[in-house]
Amino acid sequence: MIPVERAQMAMVLEVTAYPKPGNVDRCHDYEGTRLEHFLASAILVRPALERAAGCSGGIGEILREAVRLTTAHGGGNTHFGAFILLIPLLRGGDIPGAVRAVQDSTVEDAVSFYLAFSLTKVRMLPKDPLDVADPRALDVIRERRMTLLDVMDHSKEHDMVAREWVNGFRLTRKAADHLHRAGCGREGVVETFLWLLSTEIDTFIVKEHGMPVAGEVRLRAAEVLGGSGDLAAFDAECIARGINPGSTADIIIAAIYIALGEGWEWDCSRKE
Amino acid sequence: MIPVERAQMAMVLEVTAYPKPGNVDRCHDYEGTRLEHFLASAILVRPALERAAGCSGGIGEILREAVRLTTAHGGGNTHFGAFILLIPLLRGGDIPGAVRAVQDSTVEDAVSFYLAFSLTKVRMLPKDPLDVADPRALDVIRERRMTLLDVMDHSKEHDMVAREWVNGFRLTRKAADHLHRAGCGREGVVETFLWLLSTEIDTFIVKEHGMPVAGEVRLRAAEVLGGSGDLAAFDAECIARGINPGSTADIIIAAIYIALGEGWEWDCSRKE
């Protein structure tokens, strides 16, 4: 499987894994965002992924293309956070390569990222001078000569995906390692998803619902993993309350991409 | 959406449509063949689809490549029948173009098709001189100077996918027309699937279970469509008995490919 296909498979395997608390999966859609939107995104983003894996274009501009290719449908932003991780991983080939790729990012990458961002409905923190909704943000980036890595550094406190850029893709690496231990296929993905949710606060939940809810979700995930909580009930409650661990999903996608390249098997029937 | 992506989307939209009697869908896997196998097939076949849409290689050889790219996983043959329809449709661009493409098929295409066939677990009729399990079949093809269209003509009585090659993709056209009437998205696909199942005997069911069972399935589908049958119960019974309308699914995929090119909308949220 070539790297671009590993990235597409990672998106497909994450979204179809179930039962998975709160997110779109085989058995759940959100109003306006369905499983099909995620699968279409995984197919339609391919030209941008090919440019990332090749030597054509800057990371920021490719990210903008990825968003443009995948927001033509009505399902809103589906894989924006995943693209932020996958594009440097594809450019660099592996995690050390991705670290070099993000260090090479430029002010132009940051500008393109903001233009991509404005195509999505993703929110930054209120009253942030780099708020994407504020047209002066682009001026701030240019005046301060901020690279895309600087922008991610600015966002790292409140965004676990941005944090990956700054800390050497630490959670991506840890989750890929966990996936190898958890075993093949869908069951391995679900186990790794729950493990990450139980060990890290999901910053997307913090943005949408506040820290107490995010902390509660982490605790509930730990209870399910420890055997004292019920996964189906946890899932149903997340869905009912609109609690969607979207950043955890983004990191799981990056982890599946890495693990597939290291021999992790998505297809348990091939191992038998 | 370029034609190759329309073909990939058609495979994804067909397999995720539910509830769909008997086949793998969002809520059902078969032992050894899971939803992920179908989604992986839709992603991994892309290089063969690109050759079909371009001018590189003969139809039979591309079919062989498509099977090779998608049988590396352990889920068995997933989209063989769909590839038989999609590859000439991609080569020709539309149905009239596909009719010309299959008329241009050669003896070498037939040989490649047989070699592709032997990679799958698909059965032909017992005691057929063109049985793929018989190593002399290739000699028969070469001696009789049979093109791939001749092979399909030979199979047309007992294989509705082969019949499409011979009769100008008649059911593909009818199902695409029905899809336009049935409306957007998943619900349109399910409605069209049931309609096709209720009007045509599925030849895959005939091969696996015999004509009486195939006739019964057609009747049950008509009852569901007419409002006197329950879709969930029908689905559960098909799954329990291993009744899998695979050839109907193949034609639905081809129909989605055609309909997408004619403006049919997979994403209902975009229509609002």
ipTM entry: 0.91
Does A36 reach chain B within 8 Å, measured CB to CB? yes
C-beta atoms of B44 and A1 within 8 A: yes
Task: Report pLDDT digits (tens) over B52-87.
Answer: 999 889 999 999 999 999 986 666 678 999 999 999
Pick B269's closest partner by Cβ from A32, A42, A44. A32
Residue A98, CA distances (Å) to A68, A74, A254, B214 in order:
23, 31, 11, 54
Q: Work out the number of other CB atoms within 10 angstroms of the CB of residue A137.
A: 21
Separation CA A219–CA A204 (nearest Å):
16
Average pLDDT score over residue span A227-256:
94
Interface of A with B in 169-208 (CB under 8 A): 185-186
**Residues on chain B touching A40 (C-beta within 8 angstroms):** 9, 12, 266-267
- The amino acid that residue B153 corresponds to is D
Averaged confidence pLDDT in chain A: 91
DSSP, residue by residue, A177-213? HHHHHH-SHHHHHHHHHHHHHHHS--HHHHHHH-HHH
- Of A2-16, A81-95, B9-23, the one with minimum mean pLDDT is B9-23
pLDDT band at A272, cuts 50/70/90? very low
CB A84 within 8 A of CB A52: no
Separation CA B220–CA B205 (nearest Å):
14
- Of A18-32, B73-87, B127-141, B193-207, the one with minimum mean pLDDT is B127-141
**Residues on chain B touching A272 (C-beta within 8 angstroms):** 74
Distance to chain A for B36, nearest Cα, Å? 7
Confidence check: pLDDT of B32 > 80? no
**Residues on chain A touching B39 (C-beta within 8 angstroms):** 12, 16, 39
Element (H, E) at B129: none
CA nearest to A93, candidates A247, A252, A262: A262
C-beta atoms of B40 and A9 within 8 A: yes
For residue B143, report the phi and psi dihedrals to the nearest 5 degrees. -60, -40
Interface of A with B in 61-80 (CB under 8 A): 73-75
**Residues on chain B touching A12 (C-beta within 8 angstroms):** 36, 39-40, 43
Contacting residues for B55 by C-beta, under 8 A, at least 6 apart: none
CB A86 within 8 A of CB A52: yes
Separation CA A33–CA B267 (nearest Å):
10
Separation CA A137–CA A134 (nearest Å):
6
Residue A201, CA distances (Å) to A86, A100, A152, A156 in order:
21, 27, 18, 13
DSSP, residue by residue, A124-165? --TT-TT-TTSTTHHHHHHHHT--HHHHHHHHTTT-HHHHHH
Contacting residues for B21 by C-beta, under 8 A, at least 6 apart: B194, B197, B217, B220, B221, B224, B231, B234, B235, B238, B243, B245
C-beta atoms of A12 and B269 within 8 A: no
Contacting residues for A219 by C-beta, under 8 A, at least 6 apart: none
Distance to chain A for B120, nearest Cα, Å? 15
The two structure tokens encoding residue A64: 């903008």
Higher pLDDT, residue B180 or B271: B180
Averaged confidence pLDDT in chain B: 91
C-beta atoms of A43 and B267 within 8 A: no
Task: Report pLDDT digits (tens) over B96-147.
Answer: 999 999 999 999 999 999 888 877 765 555 566 676 666 788 899 999 999 9
**Residues on chain B touching A20 (C-beta within 8 angstroms):** none
